[in-house]
Structure 1
Amino acid sequence: MKNVFSLLFMFSVLTGYAQDSGIATYKKEWINLYSESAAGRQDKIANPQKYREYRELEKLQKELTKQLAYKLKFDKNRSFFYLEDLLNIGNEADLALAKGPYQGEYYFNRKTDSVIWAIKALGEKFLVNLDKIDWKLEKERKTISGYSCFKASAKIPLESGKLQSVVAWYTREIPLNYGPLQYNGLPGLVVQLETGSELYTLTKIQQKKITINVPGKGTSISESDFFKQFENFKL
């Protein structure tokens, strides 16, 4: 009888997440740092001044990034990923150092399986229609933030012609196919995401009524055309 009640409780939790709306909070960390790379280790001996300067910059970036909170609003059919407004980082240079290349807001529509990246560049707002992620579901699993997670991987093409490896850990315990940035479409909420230089980890999830607004006015453009115009922006 105890097992039956446990199963019923778990079913109610899962269906609750499937039917309701809420907000998931993620923290970000910087990984694969220069100081830890082969080039960094080489410069530590050959060019110690350069190494020290980069090392100090990494320390500052790490401390500033602790103040960031990324939010993922969700309902049954849509999600909205964004960086929460900051009050503690007033310096624009410091803010840019903490934020890194991932700026703007990401809107995912589950029904149309489409992601729009709203980004301002050179004073103009663009609504970038991002390409669909081709996920590979893997057998590896581990526990992250208290959730039993499965591994998924993908190769994301960059404008340089190279491929960026992305690893996501998702949980079936929360059957919402949403995640940070544009990384959606998995059979469960993404608990942790590694994009090469950044690591996003779920810290909290709340069920509450929320409002998700559609992207405002802006120039609609494909992902490839956007990067042809702005080569310095990278996903």
Structure 2
Amino acid sequence: MLQKISFCVFFIFFSLTNKSFSQDLIVEYQKSNLPAFLKIHDSISPNKKGQYLNLRKRISRNIGKFKYKLEIDSDNQTSHFSVIEKMSVNNQERFDNQLKGFLYGRFPHFTSLKKDSIFNDVNYRGQNYFIRLANPYYNWELKNETKIINGFKCYLATGEFIEKDALFAFNNNKKEVLHAWYAPELPSGYGPSRFTGLPGMVLQAGNQYFEYSVTKIKESDVNVQLPSKPSITEKQKNSLLKKRYLGQ
């Protein structure tokens, strides 16, 4: 309880201090894999280890081709995060689409500070789902550690996330070890994908396998409109998909 109170006080303080930086922004990120991604768990059979490793090496070689854009509309207190589409090369469009899905970058995320929510606009096998998530999605622990990123002093936040209601049972109880570096000088609450809800904009964030890193920040007129359509929770979405495709 004390930790939650401290977080709220810290968030309010930095929200007040960064009000002067209220202009709209366009922020670009690049995603990279971390060393742990290329480590294959011992539980994988020797016959499959080679296949897994080759696939992960291919992902590692291609992950840098995707750029991501975060658009922040300060007036509407809304942001839009999406992959910047580029033409596929070497006839690997199918692989690129699979890779974007694997990297959670295929479908856009909206963050609404007014609604304390993140919305993920997903199309799964021709069916649209507008999924509403809590903001912050992760439970963050704020640290005193700092570093400079892109000229801004950033503070570290860490956390853990354990999936409890995944679409596929084998993903349940898997633990993500999270880190995020946020800049209090920049608008609070925003960041790439679901790395949001911190007292400053997130410039670098990830888990033990992947990491987003900011590459460009520029001021620009931005108009982000949150789609006006019904939303469902992630649990409801998974329940619908289980019934439709898994017969559960």
Contact 1:166 1:193 in 2 (8 A): yes
Name the stretch that deviates more: 94-103 or 127-136. Answer: 94-103
* Unaligned ranges ≥5, structure 2: 1-17, 166-171
Structure 2 Cα separation of the partners of residues 145 and 52 of structure 1: 38
Contact 1:61 1:97 in 2 (8 A): no
Aligned amino acid, residue 166 of structure 1:
L
Name which of 60, 63, 66 aligns with 1:62. 60
Q: Which residue of 1 aligns with 2:220?
A: 208
| 1:128 Cα deviation after fit | 0.4
Q: Which residue of 2 aligns with 1:129?
A: 132
Structure 2 Cα separation of the partners of residues 54 and 175 of structure 1: 40
Q: Which residue of 1 aligns with 2:83?
A: 83
Structure 1 Cα separation of the partners of residues 134 and 175 of structure 2: 14
| 1:32 Cα deviation after fit | 4.8
User: What secondary structure is seen at the aligned counterpart in 2 of 1:175?
Assistant: coil
Contact 1:34 1:54 in 2 (8 A): no
Q: Which residue of 2 aligns with 1:144?
A: 149
Indicate whether 1:113 and 2:116 are aligned: yes
Contact 1:114 1:130 in 2 (8 A): yes
Name the stretch that deviates more: 186-195 or 57-66. Answer: 57-66
Indicate whether 1:190 and 2:190 are aligned: no
Aligned amino acid, residue 78 of structure 1:
T
Contact 1:62 1:98 in 2 (8 A): no
Aligned amino acid, residue 176 of structure 2:
Q
Deviations 1:51-103 (A, max 9, x none): 44433322321222211010000021111000111213453332134321413
Contact 2:38 2:57 in 1 (8 A): no
Structure 2 Cα separation of the partners of residues 35 and 28 of structure 1: 15
Contact 1:35 1:54 in 2 (8 A): no
Q: Which residue of 2 aligns with 1:170?
A: 182
Q: Percent identity?
A: 25
Aligned amino acid, residue 72 of structure 1:
L
Q: Which residue of 2 aligns with 1:94?
A: 95
Q: Which residue of 2 aligns with 1:5?
A: none
Indicate whether 1:228 and 2:231 are aligned: no
Q: Which residue of 1 aligns with 2:3?
A: none
Aligned amino acid, residue 138 of structure 1:
K
CA RMSD of aligned residues (A): 2.6
* Unaligned ranges ≥5, structure 1: 1-13
Indicate whether 1:155 and 2:160 are aligned: yes
